[in-house]
Chain A
Amino acid sequence: MQPQIILLKEGTENSQGKSQLISNINACQAVVDAVRTTLGPRGMDKLIVDSNGKSTISNDGATIMKLLDIVHPAAKTLVDIAKSQDAEVGDGTTSVVLLAGEILKQIKPFVEEGVHPRIVIKSLRKASQLAIEKINALSVKIEQVNVEDHRQLLEKCASTALSSKLVSQQKGFFAKMVVDAVLLLDELLPLNMIGIKKVQGGALEDSLLVSGVAFKKTFSYAGFEMQPKKYNNPKIALLNIELELKAERDNAEIRVEKVEEYQKIVDAEWQILYNKLDLIHKSGAQVVLSKLPIGDVATQYFADRDMFCAGRVPEEDLRRTMKACGGAVMTTAHDLNDSVLGRCEYFEEKQIGGERYNIFTGCVNAKTCTIVLRGGAEQFLEETERSLHDAIMIVRRTIKNDAVVAGGGAIEMELSRHLRDYSRTIAGKEQLLIGAVAKALEVIPRQLSDNAGFDATNILNKLRQKHAQGSCWYGVDISREDIADNFEACVWEPAVIKINALTAASEAACLILSVDETIKNPKSGDGAPPAMGRGMGRPM
């Protein structure tokens, strides 16, 4: 009897072959089922409690996938594509996972029957390429001739994105807000220039867009009450200076020989602070914001001189204020002059819900804005923020590439028809495989109907008929439990979402299909003990 050959380290898990491939597909299916029901306007939300006990309510695919903490190596791929979709377009994360899962599901029988995965992959690539060409051919370019028309387009895209979210009731309200917000930005459309602040209490409709900067009142010292809270055309000084009595340098040491000298040193410290304050005052600033604390002395000094101050302003808020009002963040008081001061039309400290907010409006080069969200529960606000983020991303993408397609499953049905027609023209295994992808694409309208409680088969039949007759924009009409021309109904989505979703889904499917062996090495460090039991052997 030959002793067993130990090739790999003990504890290494190794699985191989077709069964491995099938089990990977099954694992992905399980993940897809977790997010399946969140798709569309009638999708349901998920409540996820993470390991720290923090609960999140969301129907955003990427958020759910991130929180699920998946360990299965193949299923992790799906998390990655959701993230990728989130990074590239910001919306459509559920669709991409669903699509990848469905493609795998349709392909599974072929793999079981023994079709070589490489052939499957080749066909998948071909199918996705065809589909993308079709999207490009079908997409409607909206020309930016008229500002008003362009705005309309953006609002439609935003409201389509929002209609599948928790705030779909207020989609008209928020779509307008989001478009306003994005249009305020400069040509780079930096996302971090849109601040979203959440204040509990009030109704969703009380949310407001500040075309400027708003941030929560910072911690204030005595004397703050005496400061005025409203200014017209104030000048704003943005500082990175601690206005407080403090050591000039950490490792400095003072040696005095005479008692009078000592008093002088004490005075000098005060003098340094007062010098700084004087300089700020003389520069003509009326509002002083600092990243570092502003102490009692300074607060009272400013109050005496009709100035407003706020210390410990978060860095990003300060940056946004700088973008909005101009000026520069100063690290020294000596260079303060008129050119580095920001300006705005109106400054006010306002009560919003239970909190006070500092609001700057009418800024000179307002390339930034702030959305103040109101609403009930904290989780609800967080979900609203995520929804708005998606909508903002959609609007940004639409501005950058302005081709749109009809949503509500219309484009998927059309692609499905196109692929099916194409598949009939070719011979060989490819025909079946491209047909399978065509079938997989139907999952989007099917799931939309399922989630809304409609008879999916019926709706799909109607859709197939319409698309066969050449009406390419027919999709599911959620409000009437029927089908409708979604292009007319203004359910629009940027073409780039669909292109990216298809690319990502087919890449992920190819990746999963191309794996035929998994080798898992034992985890280094603490992973050793369970593996030892076998090696030691009882026969000793």
Chain B
Amino acid sequence: MALHVPKAPGMAQMLKEGARYFRGLEEAVYRNISACKQFAQTVRTAYGPNGMNKMVINHIEKLFVTNDAATIIKELEVEHPAAKLMILASQMQEQEIGDGTNFVIIFSGALLESAEDLLRMGLTPSEIVDGYELALEKALEILPTLTCYEIKDYRNETEVSKGIKTAIMSKQYGNEDFLTSLISRACVSILPEKTTFNVDNIRVCKILGSGVHNSQVVQGMVFKRNVEGDVTKKSQAKVAVYSCPLDITQTETKGTVLIKSADELMNFSRGEEQLLEEQIKSIAAAGTNVVVAGAKFGDMALHYINKYNMMAVRLNSKFDVRRLCKSVGATVLPRLTAPTREELGYADEVRVDEVGETSVVIFRLEGRESRISTIVIRGSTDNYMDDIERAVDDGVNTFKGITKDGRFVPGGGATEIELARQIASYGETLPGLEQYAVKRFATALESFVKILAENSGVKANDVLSKLYAAHEEGKKNFGFDVEGEGTSVGDVVQAGILDLYINKMWALKYATNAAGTILKVDQIIVAKRAGGPKPPNPSSVVPDDD
């Protein structure tokens, strides 16, 4: 190690041996910048509808095929501290909006790249950061004026699908129309009257086989399992939900049953049977058709459930039980008691169906507003379905964004170019050194159009100049047209390519903040890792010596 890193005499003495220490522009800032650039490069090609997928194999050998930046960075084990900062920013975006993660990484990467040039020109990092902050402020000021469309009635499926389409397009180009209609139908149908929209209420169920176009929305829930008992179909079902096992009640406390006489022994199991039958009978008497339990069904209990012609469904996940309750409006019963009228849930139909080769139990709720809906995704490979699931996820998150703020800005790079144009001219008006940084901010914004064009195999500079020309003429909604041949530009609003306003706003904020934080770092101290690769452990020494 000592060969590579020159140690400052003062610092190195203070630190424990093995710790690494970098400082100054050369060692720390440029290094950070190039690490971040390299990282941004990885996700850069995944941006936009024509972005390429990445195959990521994580540490437990699970394969992901995706162009969703959030997934890629989650599965990558990034070591570099500065790159980690970018990831944090992007994760914030994921949590706040649920989409636009790639935007954050690319933009902060581009900002850092521009900063490198400025640093070499002799600006100090803090001047650059100040300039960026100024530019950001200006950008956020301009952004609302670019709003080109607003969804007011977010119960209208066609309006909503217009908004979601772009988000899906960047993930599943070619299937966007179909998926968008699925998602908007699912989202609108479960939109609650008063409370806010909960992303968790759109479930996704993946079943191997067939093709994407056979995916469907089911109002209610779909579980990939079969029923326990013999009854496979109930319509207008009253559903009782239990969190306990349906079996002869066992005591928690360890105890023995004390039998004193022969008669007691003779009647013991009969008594137990009768007790259970009574319980099941009372459940049936309350009008229950379907019994759902979060734990196991005993043989004996199942027997009586069959006898009283009820359907038995077992769910393994506690969360599933809770969601089902929400969906059918039932209360979970922790003990084996007869449910009251209020505790019973209702589903229009509960039945077993075969999708492909998989048996599924469907709790269908027609007509009435159900509070959970499930998108059944079909596809030919697991990875493909996983990727569609992520697209659906982004779409649902976009819908959530719409319910918060229905404003849209033009997509396809149009917003970025307009911002870049206005910020560049704003930069001219500034007196100080910030001018350079502000201008660079504008240049960084251009990178989106460049990437969109590059990913589609089109010359980036041609597109850029065409767009600038169009925007100078006042055509604010002109963006890169991915559908067209070659370097074509067009009105993206007419093409229905819209980006969520708050998505852009937060992404700009997070990216600038991340870039600022990284720039302000001028010293890196890496402590010696506990049990890390430094001390040669026997297992690695042996193969080395052979």
Interface residues of A (CB under 8 A from B): 2-3, 5-10, 12, 73-74, 76-77, 80-81, 83-88, 90, 116-119, 121-122, 125, 188, 190-191, 240, 248-249, 251-256, 261, 264-265, 267-269, 271-272, 275, 322, 328-332, 334-335, 428, 500, 503-504, 507-508, 511, 514-524, 527, 529-530, 532-533, 535-540
Contact = CB atoms under 8 A, between A and B. Distances in A.
Nearest to A249: B257
Interface stretch (B54-62, B150-158, B336-344, B412-420): B54-62
Contact of B211 (A74, A256, A507, A538): A507
A2 B32 CA distance: 12
A521 B75 contact: yes
Consensus secondary structure, chain B interface: mixed
A328 B211 contact: no
B306 A328 contact: yes
A188 B354 contact: yes
A121 B174 contact: yes
A536 B536 CA distance: 7
A275 to B, nearest CB: 8
A189 to B, nearest CB: 8
Q: Ordered nearest first, which 7 A-B pairs have the shortest CB separation?
A: A88-B209, A116-B457, A80-B381, A503-B211, A504-B380, A268-B262, A87-B357
Interface residues of B, number: 88
A508 B380 contact: yes
B320 interface: no
A334 B277 CA distance: 12
Contacts of B299: 240, 331
Contact of A118 (B38, B50, B273, B380): B50
A522 B76 CA distance: 10
B57 A532 contact: no
Contacts of A81: 380-381
Given A252-B259, A267-B262, A508 B381 contact: yes
B260 interface: yes
B540 A532 contact: yes
Contacts of B53: 511, 514-516
A7 B544 contact: no
13 contacts: A2-B31, A84-B381, A87-B357, A118-B456, A252-B259, A254-B265, A268-B266, A332-B303, A334-B270, A508-B384, A511-B53, A514-B65, A521-B57
Given A73-B57, A116-B457, A521-B57, A261 B262 contact: yes
Given A500-B211, A536-B536, A6 B79 contact: yes
Contacts of B227: none
B453 to A, nearest CB: 11
Report which residue of B55, B254, B379, B540 has the largest number of chain A beta carbons within 10 angstroms of its beta carbon: B55
Interface of B: 1, 3-5, 26, 30-31, 34-35, 38-39, 42, 45, 49-50, 52-61, 63, 65, 67, 72, 75-80, 83, 173-174, 208-213, 230, 232, 254-263, 265-266, 268-270, 273, 299-300, 302-303, 306-307, 354, 356-358, 379-384, 455-457, 485, 533, 536, 539-540, 543-544
Contacts of A125: 174
B300 A507 contact: no
Contact of B265 (A85, A248, A515, A519): A248
A332 B300 contact: yes
A517 B544 CA distance: 31
Contact of A5 (B38, B76, B255, B300): B38
A119 B358 CA distance: 35
Contact of A517 (B54, B79, B80, B381): B54
A500 B38 contact: no
Given A515-B54, A520-B57, A118 B173 contact: yes
Contacts of A90: 357
A254 B63 CA distance: 59
B379 A507 contact: yes
Given A268-B262, A514-B65, 6 more contacts: A8-B76, A254-B265, A275-B266, A507-B384, A517-B42, A536-B540
A535 B52 contact: no
A249 B60 CA distance: 44
A264 B263 CA distance: 9
Given A5-B31, A10-B533, A81-B381, A428 B59 contact: no
A80 B5 CA distance: 49
A8 B257 contact: no
Given A73-B55, A252-B268, A524-B60, A335 B356 contact: no
Contacts of B256: 251-253
- From B57, B303, B485, B539, residue with most partner A Cβ within 10 Å: B57
A5 B75 CA distance: 20
Nearest to A264: B262
Contact of A264 (B50, B79, B174, B261): B261
A248 B272 CA distance: 11
Nearest to B458: A116
B3 to A, nearest CB: 6
Given A5-B38, A118-B456, A515-B53, A523 B60 contact: yes
B541 to A, nearest CB: 8
A235 to B, nearest CB: 19
B52 A516 contact: yes
Contacts of B260: 254-256
Given A7-B35, A507-B384, A519-B54, A88 B307 contact: no
A262 B221 CA distance: 57
Contact of B380 (A3, A84, A271, A328): A84
Which of B52, B53, B63 is packed against the most chain A CB atoms within 10 Å? B52
Contacts of A116: 50, 456-457
A529 B4 contact: no
A438 B212 CA distance: 22
Given A251-B256, A253-B259, A331-B300, A511 B540 contact: no
Given A504-B380, A516-B53, A533-B540, A9 B79 contact: yes
A238 to B, nearest CB: 11
Contacts of A118: 49-50, 52, 173, 455-457
